[in-house]
Amino acid sequence: MTFHVETLAVHAGMEPDPHTGAVMTPIYQTSTYAQEDVAVHKGYEYSRTDNPTRTALQTALAALEGGQHALVFASGMAAIDTVLRLIKPGDHVLSGNDVYGGTFRLFDKVLADYGIAFSFVDTTDATAVAAAMQPNTKLVWLETPTNPMLRISDIAAIAPIAHAQGAWLGVDNTFASPMLQRPLTLGADFVIHSTTKYIGGHSDVVGGAVILNDTAVYERLKFLQNAIGAVPGPMDCFLTLRGIKTLALRMQQHSHNALQIAQFLADHPAVAEVIYPGLDTHPQYELAQRQMQGPGGMISFILHGGEKAARAVARTTQLFTLAESLGGVESLIELPAPMTHASVANSPLAVNPGLVRISVGIEHAQDLIADLANALTHV
């Protein structure tokens, strides 16, 4: 049978335990496995290589993204780093010019030292992407929506541009989750997640994932996963599986709340600009409507008072916790320039110091609006 993604979130990869009938996948808290004979085992020999709880999570994520294969890692950055190990010295990577600060740091401050060339372009413009392709381009890297400016790139338009050059297209789908966007169905070769965020959903576990269809590339990434060893433990995998079960409901509530809050902010006299894909003022609003199944739970905004006003608001909210990260059930607020995106300072990707980013949780929308309204009185 073919199931909807909401059903897959509850059931994919999570068969009852054959030994006990346990409905939830057990936490296989073991480092090694008894072998029947020398080099003869039941599919598991050492938990860096494979673990049954991890296998269940990988199966679930592949199903959610509509992919054939998935691999999970100890963090989203470990997942990105492993994909980039497919790129060789002398190759070129074309990246969006609005990406998570940790991604830019890995590209510009680490991997560039190993002979990989990186350039950054506005990927909301497919023509600009095509113009920036080079003969040695091996990977086009998108975030959509981007972090923190929430720009939307047309995956279906960019995929053939990358493929015509013989390059892969990788899409960081962290902000949308597979409930709102499935890049593999639009032509992407890799989908990458920080599962710490919406997939885990409870701010209690760090992880990452790569999902893909190409079996030969999967085998190489699987080799790298084992060789490098940046894998999650079984408890991390269990917590992420637990989070996935409510992913559909949570994403509905995140989007429902965020739209109301974005509308409130857009009407507030202290707010100069609201950036949210669910508002028709967003530059890629029509694309978001076509490509995504919902606008998501992330909002960025700028106040008339600039950085001073932004800091005042961030310091005085009560329900919105001043903290990095995003995608949990609780609402968070931060200033990207000195926090999550400090690593892009003094670069072409530098963030407006007055930009405020909020991760809207699943609390009651009116309570969250009241919290922001109170904080805005301090501006």
Q: How confident is the model at residue 39 (pLDDT cuts 50, 70, 90)?
A: confident
Do 147 and 232 belong together in one domain?
A: yes
The tokens describing 162, both together, are 């990358």
pLDDT tens per residue across span 307-328: 999 999 999 999 999 999 999 9
Dist. CA 181–CA 185, nearest whole Å: 9
pLDDT at residue 334 greater than cutoff 90: yes
Do 187 and 269 belong together in one domain?
A: no
Do 309 and 212 belong together in one domain?
A: no
Q: How confident is the model at residue 40 (pLDDT cuts 50, 70, 90)?
A: confident
pLDDT at residue 2 greater than cutoff 90: no
| Share of residues in the chain with pLDDT > 70 (%) | 100
Domain count, the chain: 2
pLDDT at residue 18 greater than cutoff 90: no
Where a domain ends, among 184, 214, 244?
Answer: 244
What's residue 14's pLDDT?
81
Do 352 and 211 belong together in one domain?
A: no
24 or 73, which is more confident: 73
Do 194 and 214 belong together in one domain?
A: yes
Dist. CA 175–CA 193, nearest whole Å: 9
What's residue 378's pLDDT?
87
Do 275 and 260 belong together in one domain?
A: yes
Do 16 and 86 belong together in one domain?
A: yes
Q: How confident is the model at residue 19 (pLDDT cuts 50, 70, 90)?
A: confident
Where a domain ends, among 244, 263, 289?
Answer: 244
Query: Per-residue pLDDT averaged across 292-311, rounded?
Result: 98
Do 37 and 148 belong together in one domain?
A: yes
The tokens describing 234, both together, are 């079984």
Where a domain ends, among 229, 244, 259?
Answer: 244
Do 276 and 223 belong together in one domain?
A: no
What's residue 102's pLDDT?
97
pLDDT tens per residue across span 149-196: 999 999 999 999 999 999 999 999 999 999 999 999 999 999 999 999
Q: How confident is the model at residue 362 (pLDDT cuts 50, 70, 90)?
A: very high
* Residues identified as active-site: 48, 100, 172, 197
Q: Centre a 10 Å sphere on the Cβ of residue 228 and count the other Cβ atoms it contains.
A: 15
Do 198 and 256 belong together in one domain?
A: no
Do 240 and 293 belong together in one domain?
A: no
Q: Domain of 343: which CATH number? A: 3.90.1150.10
Residue 182's domain comprises 5-244
pLDDT at residue 42 greater than cutoff 90: no
Whole-model pTM: value is 0.96
Alpha helices in the chain (DSSP H): 5-11, 52-65, 76-84, 101-104, 126-132, 155-164, 215-228, 234-244, 247-267, 285-291, 306-316, 365-376
Q: Domain of 155: which CATH number? A: 3.40.640.10
Strand 92-96 and strand 117-121: the pairing is parallel
What's residue 263's pLDDT?
98
Do 207 and 310 belong together in one domain?
A: no
In the sheet that 69-73 helps form, which strands lie side by side, from edge to edge?
A: 69-73, 208-212, 190-194, 168-172, 137-143, 92-96, 117-121
